[in-house]
Chains A and B, each alone.
Chain A
Amino acid sequence: MRNVLPVLTVVAVIFVAWYIGAVALNATWAQDNAARAGVELSFTELVADTLSQDKPKLPAPHQVAVEIWETTVEKNITSRRSLVYHSWITMSATLLGFVLGTGLGIALAVGIVYNRTMDMSVMPWVIASQTIPILAIAPMIIVVLNAIGITGLFPKAVISMYLSFFPVVVGMVKGLRSPDRMQLDQMKTWHANGIQEFWKLRFPSSMPYLFTSLKVGMAASLVGAIVGELPTGAVAGLGARLLAGSYYGQTVQIWSALIMAAVLAACLVGIIGLAQRLVLKRMGMA
Chain B
Amino acid sequence: MTTSPVISAKDLSLTFHTDDGPIHALQDITLDIEKGDFVSFIGPSGCGKTTFLRVMADLEQPTGGEITVNGVSPEEARKARAYGYVFQAAGLYPWRTIGGNIRLPLEIMGFDRAAQDERVKRVLELVELDGFEKKYPWQLSGGMQQRASIARALAFDADILLMDEPFGALDEIVRDHLNEQLLKLWKRTEKTIAFVTHSIPEAVYLSTRIVVMSPRPGRISEVIESPLPKERPLDIRDTPEFLDVAHRVREGLRAGHAYDE
A residues sitting closer than 8 Å to B (CB atoms) are 182-183, 185-192, 196, 200-201, 204, 282-285
Partner of B137, one of A183, A185, A284: A284
Does B167 lie at the interface of the complex (its beta carbon under 8 Å from any beta carbon of A)? no
A190 near B95: Cβ-Cβ < 8 Å: no
Interface residues of B in 114-163 (CB under 8 A from A): 136-138, 156
| Smallest Cβ-Cβ distance to A283: which chain B residue | B95
Shortest Cβ distance from B94 into A: residue: A284
Q: Is the CB of B94 within 8 A of A183?
A: no
Nearest A-chain residue to B92, judged by Cβ: A284
Beyond A190-B81, A190-B105, A200-B107, whether A285 also contacts B87 by CB under 8 A is no
Tell me, yes or no, whether B16 is within 8 Å of chain A by CB.
no
* CB closest chain-B residue, reference A188: B59
Q: Which residues of B contact A187 (CB under 8 A)?
A: 108
A215 CB, nearest partner CB in chain B, Å: 21
Q: Known contacts being A189-B59, A284-B136, is A182 close to B89, with CB within 8 Å?
A: yes
Q: Is the CB of B95 within 8 A of A284?
A: yes
- CB contacts under 8 Å to A, within B148-191, are 156
A186 to B90, CA, bound (A): 11
Chain A's closest residue to B158 (CB) is A189
Asked whether, in the complex, the Cβ of B91 is within 8 Å of the Cβ of A182, the reply is yes
Q: Does B57 contact A (CB under 8 A)?
A: yes
A190 x B87 contact (CB < 8 A): no
| Residues of chain B having any CB pair with chain A under 8 Å | 54, 57-59, 78-79, 81, 83-85, 87-89, 91, 93-95, 104-105, 107-109, 136-138, 156
| A183 interface neighbour in B81, B91, B138, Cβ under 8 Å | B91
Contact A204 B81 (CB under 8 A): no
Q: Are the CB atoms of A190 and B138 closer together than 8 Å?
A: no
A183 CA to B152 CA, complexed, in Å: 14
Bound complex: CA A188 to CA B83 (Å): 12
A182 CA / B87 CA spacing, docked (Å):
8
Bound: A285/B137 CA distance, A:
11
B87 and A186 form a contact (CB under 8 A): yes
Q: Which residues of B contact A284 (CB under 8 A)?
A: 94-95, 136-138
Residues of B contacting A186 in the complex (Cβ-Cβ under 8 angstroms): 85, 87, 91
Of all chain B residues, which has the CB nearest A185? B59
Indicate which residue in B81, B87, B104, B107 contacts A191 across the interface (CB closer than 8 Å): B81
Q: Are A285 and B79 in contact (CB under 8 A)?
A: no
What is the chain B residue whose CB lies nearest that of A279?
B95
Q: Write out the residue numbers on chain A whose beta carbons fall within 8 Å of the beta carbon of B84.
A: 189
Contact among A182, A185, A196, A204 for B95, CB-based, below 8 A? A204
Residue pairs across A and B with Cβ atoms less than 8 A apart, 12 shown, are A182-B89, A183-B91, A185-B59, A186-B91, A187-B108, A188-B59, A188-B78, A189-B57, A190-B156, A191-B108, A196-B108, A200-B104
- Give Cα distance in the complex from A183 to B59, angstroms: 12
